[in-house]
Structure 1
């Protein structure tokens, strides 16, 4: 853990300053700041306010250019002039943001655009996706067989599943797999914490979990093997929570769509289509961040080198122009078909996120297929409660379900 974060009072002040900045900007009507406040279940009204302000909205208070336009979002996410880090290899205005742990802070020795280390290679090669899916199906069956009639879909299944799949995929020894799962669960807020300050307790626990997880992976992977520990760390954190969020979002959507739920239970192989549609409606990563590597003009708006751009993924995928083009192109997640409008933003050929996104999709698809086949009567037994301070994932805090339950989901709550 970095020295300036080890003092609780210093860390608390830093988190509080960031939170106050978001709160003040939101009070002045800045829709991006209201999104980062993350205090409601549905941020779409704020996302639509960003859209209403033009193709590129400049949040002056937060020094960020925000995009909800579907075509422009795709352009930025596939443009080599945008990367994950500044030209000097750091985070944009890092002193004004919540601390970032090692799990999502790329090395300086990356590619020319601030992405993953140049020699890291794809963390989950395409040829391994089938193996990951088979493993996810096996683990899903095992987890489900160990659960009773009533359980929490988040804590008891959706978060445990990717951790156990990743432990097997990465080759973590059996003796350390329990601890690996605990530490990965401790990193569940990592994606959200980079843009939205968490509470002091959650932040300290997350930083400690990330540091120990990196040490655990280094013990087993930094031996000259094909997958460096740092790349494995980024993969694990980038896959785990999005997998959980995507699965829970898909299950929640089915709870309010009786016909779709019945069709899935009748034909579990439809899980892939359900997950694909969920990714469009309720993506597991709602905000993508990029840094301009040179002076760039977007829709006539000048973005300076090292300028921060935020892509509102959910809003961009709701763009009416994209919806029309997608209908004409036909839904697909395969690169190189049509003009790409049928590919959800998280699955584009973008070096910073595609491998993790595809792995998350694969795990969620396998899990939903198993739930439909092995527990067709599974229903929500209470309110699905979403997390607060989670503008990136909008994940669930808890989701009580029952194999004997019936009916649609109740209205969601908050935590």
Structure 2
């Protein structure tokens, strides 16, 4: 039986959308356009409740979200989720044994010991010092893309810039040839189905087809790196593999996941930031007058319109959260975007404030499964936005006609046309 808080919510909050749709529906048009009104109502009614839409327990308050993300009683392997929705997903997907094996060896699914080895293996290349040292190379790619934009009066910030930049940077960091960026982007986009199944073009067949191209490509790259090591992450990961820290499959999957995971987050960070500045011209003027404000601005961009909207955790034992009993092996959806707009933690949360003090957002999650690319996103986002605003101080766009992607796990724009 659910706790008193859950039963109180069931009696208190009746939405006209009907009992089968539920109270948290990230795929409704109204939610996609502006999730925060619904999230405010959800948080006020109950900071945690069981969603019929997602089949999980949904957390929307900053306090409970922070606790869940740092609680070591939770895991991240979504295949352990016992909810019917999760079971049906894996049953209907009909993965081949090879595809299933790859999913079982992602960073969030491997045993904890292997997980820690993987995180240590990438720690150097994603450290603040290493990423900061790479900023000149980031700016090289930023300027190259902006040079192309300058040749025309209008350009799409997302398709022409924000989606291309992270692929070029990640390819160089990992050790892939930059001329392969287009197909690396295509393969990476195919995996968005694991986060947001309603994004245009997403689908299990497309993802599986991409895997059977991407995996041999990574295997060939590893063969080349064995013969000709370089100063890149793939070479260093290969050394960890040869030391016995993870096997060949785990190595290849880790490389693919590093390529896939980072680019959508950084794309969304850049797009969401520009959309925010268009919506709040006073903050844009403030940033233009004081470029040194950019590091603080990045934190506020991540808080205000979080590129990562949700994180999933699977409790290893029965828990009671906020008065609601959560059974073991039943997914908990931590709504990062809701937590980052909780007025109990942030004053006037729907106000973009680049001078906000004590901005302890959880936009990159927390705990042992926090986003390993946090500093890459910060430094790359700062390099992209600084150059963009410096080179095109009069850029214009319509912040009232934004086309958002479905926002179950990520929040970002399909496009953002700008006049430079």
- Fold in common (TM above 0.5): yes
Hey, what's the Cα distance between the residues in 2 that align with 1:262 and 1:277?
A: 15
**Do 1:132 and 1:165's aligned partners in 2 also have CA atoms closer than 8 Å?**
no
Distance 1:378 1:189, change over 3 A: farther
Give the counterpart of 1:142 among 141, 144, 150.
Answer: 144
- Residue deviations 1:15-65 (CA, integer Å, cap 9, x gap): xxxxxxxxxx96317555422446631122321232123232122564311
Conservation of the 8 A alpha-carbon contact between 2:62 and 2:345? yes
Aligned-residue Cα RMSD (Å) equals 3.3
Q: Is the 8 A contact 1:381 1:402 kept in 2?
A: no
Distance in 2, Cα, partners of 1:244 & 1:53: 33
Q: 1:28 aligns with which of 4, 12, 19?
A: 19
Distance 1:145 1:359, change over 3 A: same
Task: Please state how far the C-alpha of 1:318 moved relative to its aligned partner.
Answer: 1.8
User: How many residue pairs were aligned?
Assistant: 361
Change over 3 Å in CA distance of 1:186–1:269 after alignment to 2? farther
Shift of 1:399: 0.9
The equivalent position to 1:380 in structure 2, one of 381, 397, 416, is 397
Q: Which has the higher mean CA deviation after the structures are superposed, 357-366 or 301-310?
A: 357-366
Is 2:105 the partner of 1:95?
no
CA distance in 2, matches of 1:153, 1:312: 27
2:145 and 2:161 in contact (8 A); partners too: yes
> Residue 400 in 1 paired to residue 417 in 2?
yes
Unaligned runs of 5+ in 2: 1-15, 227-234, 238-250, 350-354
- Determine if the alignment matches structure 1 residue 168 to structure 2 residue 172: yes
Q: 1:138, 1:200 → 2: CA distance?
A: 31
Counterparts of 1:262-341 in structure 2, within 5 Å, are 262-323=285-346
| Matches of 2:29 and 2:216, distance apart in 1 | 32
| C-alpha contact 1:385 1:396 (8 A) present in aligned 2 | yes
Greater shift in the superposed pair: 152-161 or 349-358:
349-358
**1:307-353: CA deviation from partner (whole Å, max 9, x where unpaired):** 21011112112222212699xxx967xxxxxxxx7332133543323
Tell me how far apart the structure 2 counterparts of residues 178 and 62 of structure 1 sit (CA, whole Å): 33
Aligned residue for 1:184, secondary structure, equals: helix
Point out where structure 1 has 5 or more consecutive residues left out of the alignment.
1-24, 333-340, 404-415
Higher relative contact order (CA 8 A, sep 6+): 2
Deviation at 1:156, TM superposition (A): 0.3
Asked if residue 344 in structure 1 is aligned to residue 344 in structure 2, the reply is no
1:365 positional shift: 1.5
**In the TM superposition, what whole-angstrom CA distance separates every residue of 1:238-275 from its partner, at most 9, and x where no partner exists?**
21111111111110111122222123233333332222
Q: Greater shift after overlay, 94-103 or 265-274?
A: 94-103
Q: CA deviation at 1:230?
A: 2.1
After TM superposition, the structure 1 stretch with the greater mean CA deviation from structure 2, 92-101 or 48-57, is 92-101
User: Partners in 1 of 2:405 and 2:119 — Cα distance?
Assistant: 35
Q: Which residue is 2:385 aligned to? A: 368
The reply to whether residue 106 of structure 1 matches residue 106 of structure 2 is yes
Q: Is the 8 A contact 2:26 2:406 kept in 1?
A: no
Partners of 1:32 and 1:229 lie apart in 2 by 40
> Partner of 1:4 in structure 2?
none
Residues 347 and 95 of structure 1: is their aligned pair in 2 closer, same or farther, counting only changes over 3 Å? closer
Question: 1:201, 1:289 → 2: CA distance?
Answer: 20
Does structure 1 conserve the Cα–Cα contact (< 8 Å) formed by 2:166 and 2:263? yes
Distance 1:229-1:134 versus aligned 2 partners, 3 A rule: farther
